[in-house]
Amino acid sequence: MMVENRIRLIPSLGFLTFIKKQKKMLKKIIIFLLITLISGQVFAEIENPCFNAIQKHISEAIKHNENVSALYSQLSNGESNRLSFNLISMEKASSFLIKSIELKSRFYQIKGVNLLCDELASMNNLPVFQNYLTNEKRPNQFYKYDFKNYNKNLKLFIQNDQMDEAYQFTADELQKLDEAPNQLCLTRHFLESIARTIKLSQGHRNEALKLGLPDPLKLIQKFIKFQSNGLIVTHLLDLQAFPLQKKGLMIYCQDVPVIDWK
């Protein structure tokens, strides 16, 4: 009896083979699902150019600044090396810090709202590169822009959803910078980007409303705040770049694209 019971407890060879086949089939199914998931994400990004638009924009900016850093170094006898390094470092940090905000925008992008996408200027719209400015176009004195006052007032407008006032306030600040051409170029670039973001904000909100989506105001506010906080860094970099800009080197000024903010 004991021998007979043991025989019954031992699975048949056919049953073991069946289990092994099922395991192999399960592995194939899992691999297939993973490939399908990854492929679906890739195709989705190809179909929707807004996916990761900020990451792509920053990546293109980093590539450009890495490419021109050697030329600037040659033109400045190495004095520009620190400036190039600092700008690229800021861009890499921005790429990391903006990820959580950009990820939330995908919810709207999937539905056809180009939030945090249309706001970006193409790196193809860079100014024509020139080695040096002529003497009469070179800045003589650094313009002391009060970015702290701008941030304080902008914060109040944005918190109270006063987008028209925020846009006009930013436009007035940009007009002030027109009095100091060929300097403060990174700061000007960020202000222009903020102005464009504000300009497009109501359109995005209207689109979301028509589609029955939640109001993206908070996400827009976070993006504007992210850019305005960056003015602390851009002002410092602009200050560091000024001695070379005063000599006519157009570093930073011809490394940011033209933004249609008006």
pLDDT digits (tens, 9 = 90+) for 27-73: 656 665 555 454 444 444 457 899 999 999 999 999 999 999 999 99
Same domain, 157 and 203: yes
Residues 19 and 64 in one domain: no
Contact residues for 51 (Cβ-Cβ < 8 A; gap 6+): 44, 45, 106, 109
For residues 24 and 53, state if they share a domain: no
Whole-number pLDDT of residue 47: 72
Residue 262 lies in a domain: no
Residue-number span of the structural domain to which 210 is assigned? 49-246
Matching residue, tokens 């790429």:
95
Predicted confidence at residue 244, as pLDDT, reads 98
Distance (Å, whole) CA 105 – CA 41: 16
How far apart are the C-alpha atoms of 20 and 136, rounded to whole Å? 82
pTM of the model: 0.82
- Whole-number average pLDDT of the chain: 89
- Asked if residue 144 and residue 215 are part of one domain, the reply reads yes
Residue 91 has pLDDT above 80, yes or no: yes
Say what the pLDDT of residue 9 is.
45
Q: Are residues 31 and 145 in the same domain?
A: no
Q: What is the mean pLDDT of residues 150-163?
A: 98
Q: What is the mean pLDDT of residues 253-257?
A: 97
The answer to whether residue 228 is domain-embedded is yes
> Do 98 and 66 share a structural domain?
yes
Whether residue 85 is found in the same domain as residue 179: yes
In a domain, 118, yes or no: yes
Tell me whether residue 260 is in a domain: no
Summarize the confidence of residues 138-157 as an average pLDDT. 97
Asked, for residue 4, whether it belongs to a domain, the answer is no
- Cα 106 to its chain centre, rounded Å, is 13
Question: Which of 10-19, 146-155, 158-167, 176-185 has the weakest average pLDDT?
Answer: 10-19
The reply to whether 66 and 150 lie within a common domain is yes
The reported pLDDT for the residue numbered 2 is 46
Select the more confidently predicted residue: 31 or 262. Answer: 262
- For residues 67 and 77, state if they share a domain: yes
The answer to the question of residue 67 being in a domain is yes
Radius of gyration of the chain (CA): 27
Instruction: State mean pLDDT over 227-237.
Output: 98
Q: Please, what is the end-to-end C-alpha distance for the chain in angstroms?
A: 94
Nearest to 88 by CA among 64, 72, 53, 71: 64
Task: Give the residue-averaged pLDDT of 2-19.
Answer: 51
In terms of domains, do 179 and 232 share one? yes
The pLDDT of residue 163 is above 60: yes
Tell me how many domains the chain contains: 2
Residue 96 binned pLDDT confidence (cut-offs 50, 70, 90):
very high
Residue 251 in any domain: the answer is no
The residue ranking higher by pLDDT, 16 or 108, is 108
Would you say residue 3 lies in a domain? no
pLDDT digit string, tens, across residues 177-211: 999 999 999 999 999 999 999 999 999 999 999 99
Are 124 and 150 in a shared domain?
yes
Selected residue with higher pLDDT from 45 and 260: 260
Percent of the chain with pLDDT over 70: 82
* Residue 197 near residue 223, CB atoms below 8 Å: yes
pLDDT (0 to 100) of residue 213: 98
Same domain, 34 and 65: no
